[in-house]
């Protein structure tokens, strides 16, 4: 993690989720006093696209009659939709689910997210 010694003030560090605590420990141990923003991939994904709550998962569980884990898988797959029209039925179903959740206000958009 010697690359951290080369960081300058006002840097943005984007790291995998599992390394965040290690990087913070390294910065603390080496007393690096830098003004930097540390973001994980999940934080960026949720900030740029959307986040969800247990209420979102509960709504999916009700309309699809599925378990909590399966509902969570459904929501996680919504992050990968990037078109407005799909030819495959499964992707059309996911897209309609995403649109439904957006209409109900169950997908949380962060309008103030800035990297």
Residues 103, 57 within the same domain: yes
Vertex 17, ends 105 and 22: CA angle to 5°?
145
- pLDDT attached to residue 39: 87
The pLDDT tens digits of the residues spanning 50-109 come to: 999 999 999 999 999 999 999 999 999 999 887 776 777 778 888 899 999 999 999 999
Number of domains observed in the structure of the chain: 2
Asked if 115 and 12 touch (Cβ cutoff 8 Å), the reply is yes
- Distance, in Å, from the CA atom of 84 to the CA atom of 14, rounded to the nearest integer, reads 29
Is the pLDDT higher at 25 or at 100?
A: 100
Is the pLDDT higher at 21 or at 90?
A: 21
Assess if residue 20 is contained within a domain: yes
- pLDDT attached to residue 2: 66
Task: Copy the structure tokens of residue 75.
Answer: 């929501």
Classify residue 56 by burial, with Cβ atoms within 10 Å: 0-12, 13-18, 19+. buried
Q: Which of the four pLDDT bands, split at 50, 70 and 90, describes residue 17?
A: confident
Backbone phi and psi for residue 9, each to the nearest 5 degrees, phi listed first: -60, 150
| Domain containing residue 82 | 50-108
Residues 65, 34 within the same domain: no
- Note if the pTM is more than 0.75: no
Residues 21, 62 within the same domain: no
């Amino acid at each position: 993690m010697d690359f951290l010694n080369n960081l300058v003030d006002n840097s943005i560090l984007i790291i995998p989720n599992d390394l965040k605590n290690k990087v913070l420990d390294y910065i603390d141990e080496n007393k690096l006093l830098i003004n930097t923003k540390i973001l994980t991939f999940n934080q960026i994904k949720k900030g740029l696209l959307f986040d969800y709550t247990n209420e979102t998962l509960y709504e999916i569980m009700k309309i699809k009659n599925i378990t909590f884990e399966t509902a969570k898988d459904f929501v996680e797959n919504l992050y990968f939709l990037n078109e407005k029209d799909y030819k495959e039925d499964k992707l059309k179903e996911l897209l309609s689910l995403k649109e439904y959740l957006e209409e109900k206000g169950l997908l949380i958009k962060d309008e103030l997210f800035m990297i």
